[in-house]
Chains A and B, each alone.
Chain A
Amino acid sequence: MRETELLVVGGGPAGLSAAVEAASHGCEVMVVDSDLALGGQLIKQTHKFFGSESERAGTRGFKIAEILLDELGQLKGKVEVLTNTTAESYYRGDGVVGCMTDEDNYWFVKPKKIVNATGASEKILPFPNNDLPGVYGAGAIQTLMNVYGVVPGKKVLMVGAGNIGLVVSYQLLQAGVDVVGIVEFLPNISGYWVHAAKVRRLGVPVLLKHTITRAIGENKVEGAYIQAVDDNNQLMGEPQKIDCDIICMSVGLSPTVDLLWQAGCKMMYVPELCGYVARRDNQMRTSNADIWAAGDAHGIEEASAAMVEGRIAGLGAAHSLDHVDRVQFGERLGMFWQRLDNLRAGATGEKIRCGVGKCTCQAWEVD
């Protein structure tokens, strides 16, 4: 049985930040990630981030991943990284975690503390033929195109005009792929205007109050039908045939919380955070005193916030293991919260603030 002080599950923006923070205080850290490469969604982002200077606004996403990996590299003696490794079971009796490396190597680790930074998974819409090859999640397209440099297709219909739909549309155009249009069920574009403006300037039509009703094709996508919806969200008018070979779904994400359920953490459905999330205190600790969570797994938000949450969780775990004294813990916690509050300020952060408020308590009562 392997042992470690802190097991960080997930090597995306939140997990890497947690690992860097904890290891920088002298904590021994093991990071496991189910993917072949670290960096999570960051390595797929070609656009420059917004937010604040301290969260690297103005830097492209994949560059931020490089910076984090560099910081991690400097803490080499303290951090062990295992890729293609999925933490898939938590044994409540003794806090042991079962991990699968590759397709057939199952092993156990007994960590003292855990940060669950497992990210999110993509949602899809129900419509006939939505199982055809060619109907892909936006994140999957990003992986194929921006990580592995594979041309995903020729003509893409994008479903959803949130930030991911807009950003991925732009990324498709960067890769030389035609985006025939973006359909959005809502009467407005929910993503940032700057992202919407970029794709509109390049001539991509954004059809509001439209949805996909069917994918066309025998063995793969050869087209799609889209249709307008009225004020009561009912289909109206005639379906319109779209010529495309890829249907890209960007209709939201759900937090990945399987381990947290297994660990018996108190969970709560919070619509503003897009699903079930763990209740937490102000250091991201769940009701299981050995487990913290951060990033999309703690509620769908942006990578900038995920990185700060990861810092807080890593700090909390390191503090609980006596690697950080009380004064330093308080100071850094306050600083990180200031940064998080800055990111969540204003009208765009209102939904998140409301969601986080519902599931956060000041401190867990110590048994």
Chain B
Amino acid sequence: MGWIKEHPVLEFSHKKKVKFVFDGKDLEGYEGEPIAAALHANGVTTYRKTKRMDRDRGFFCAIGKCSSCFMVVDGVPNVRTCVTALKEGMNVETQHGDGQVALLDERKRR
């Protein structure tokens, strides 16, 4: 979908562009902006799959309230990507089903 290039009223002051990984693919987004916004700009619409029905979930409320955009970020499940700032080199993965605490333990061991 991309970023807005021209706007009659608003000026967007993005910070620097950073690289991050989404499901093994290299993508770019702006540092400090929500992970979910960067994904959307890259045309990614599915952020997680539901446990029972395998339904797609993506961007929805954008204010950290609805749980639609939960993803696995740097090994941590259930991260609200709409209110979590993007950083250089983040590893963002589609979350399948409920978040697995085992992933969290693994991260703490590292």
Give me the interface of A with B, judged by CB distance under 8 Å.
Answer: 34-36, 46, 60, 62, 84, 86, 102-104, 121-122, 131-137, 139-140, 143-146, 148-153, 174-176, 219-220
B78 smallest CB distance to A (angstroms): 8
A36 touches B12 (CB 8 A): no
| Residue B92 CB within 8 A of the other chain | no
Most buried by A among B10, B58, B61, B79: B10
Please indicate the chain B residues that have their CB under 8 angstroms from the CB of A143 in the complex: 37, 62-63, 82
> Could you give, for residues 33-46 of chain B, a 1 whenever the CB lies within 8 Å of some chain A CB and a 0 otherwise?
11001001100011
A-contacting residues of B (Cβ < 8 Å)? 1-4, 6-10, 12, 14, 30, 32-34, 37, 40-41, 45-47, 55-65, 76, 78-80, 82-85
Separation of A62 and B59 alpha carbons in the complex (Å):
23
Q: Report chain A residues within 8 Å CB of B37.
A: 143-144, 148, 150
Q: Least Cβ distance of A198 to chain B in Å?
A: 13
Q: Is the contact region of chain A dominated by helix, strand, or loop, or is it mixed?
A: loop
Q: B62 near A140 (CB under 8 angstroms)?
A: yes
Contact B32 A36 (CB under 8 A): yes
Residue of A nearest to B53 (CB): A131
Supplied contacts A133-B58, A133-B60, A149-B12, 20 more A-B pairs, CB within 8 Å: A46-B10, A62-B10, A86-B64, A103-B76, A103-B84, A131-B57, A133-B46, A134-B45, A136-B59, A136-B60, A137-B61, A139-B62, A140-B59, A140-B63, A149-B3, A149-B14, A151-B4, A175-B7, A176-B6, A220-B46
Q: Would you call A152 and B1 a contact (CB within 8 A)?
A: yes
Give CA–CA (A133, B66) in the complex, Å: 13
A150 near B1 with CB under 8 A, answer: yes
* CB nearest to B36 among chain A residues: A144
User: B57–A34 contact, CB under 8 A?
Assistant: no
Measured in the bound complex, the distance between the Cα atoms of B7 and A46 in whole Å is: 10
List chain A residues, Cβ under 8 A from B41: 148, 150-151
CB closest chain-A residue, reference B33: A148
CA distance A145 to B62 in the complex (A): 11
Cross-chain contact B4 with A140 (CB below 8 angstroms): no
